[in-house]
């Protein structure tokens, strides 16, 4: 990870904060081009849209695939506040974004959420899903320097439900 990755992960964490402010779960994702320019943002909308597939990364990939072609997306990076779930990793695969960077890994996230009924989870790493692709995908994370920042929003949210 580099300074651009850290900067854009912080943007994804801010999107997660905005997601909570808008009545949703604390997940956020952003898409950047190969030069690190911010292109799109995606909030979690599970609660407000009453849509179990309204995860930040999946919402972002819906926007991205409507906005950009697959070849362009192959050179982009998706930054996310927490490691993508299996569904979101699948959306990233189908959208052809070849690089994923996340702040908070599954293990500390699930230590916070535990078995909360509002967030049933498949305990599977994004690299496990994307590692099954016929072409290489890069999955980078977690970001140790952002562990406290990325965890804080989840501790506040899941502890107050």
Q: What is the pLDDT of residues 104-153, one digit of tens each?
A: 999 999 888 887 677 667 778 999 999 999 999 999 999 999 999 999 99
pTM of the model: 0.94
Q: How far apart are the first and last CA of the chain?
A: 33
Please identify every residue annotated as catalytic.
Answer: 57
| The pLDDT of residue 122 | 72
Average pLDDT, the chain: 94
Distance CA 113, CA 155 (A): 8
């Amino acid at each position: 990870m580099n300074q651009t990755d850290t900067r854009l992960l912080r943007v994804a964490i801010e999107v997660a904060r905005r997601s909570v402010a808008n009545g949703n779960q604390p997940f956020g994702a952003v898409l950047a081009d190969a030069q690190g320019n911010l292109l799109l943002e995606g909030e979690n909308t599970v609660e407000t849209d009453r849509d179990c597939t309204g995860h930040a990364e999946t919402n972002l990939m819906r926007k991205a695939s409507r906005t950009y072609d697959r070849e362009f997306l192959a050179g982009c990076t998706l930054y996310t506040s927490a490691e993508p779930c299996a569904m979101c990793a699948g959306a990233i695969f189908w959208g052809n974004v070849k690089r994923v960077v996340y702040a908070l890994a599954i293990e500390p996230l699930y230590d916070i959420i535990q078995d909360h009924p509002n967030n049933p989870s498949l305990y599977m790493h994004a690299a496990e899903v994307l590692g099954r692709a016929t072409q290489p995908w890069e999955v980078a994370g977690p970001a140790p320097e952002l562990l406290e920042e990325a965890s804080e929003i989840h501790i506040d949210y899941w502890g107050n439900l």
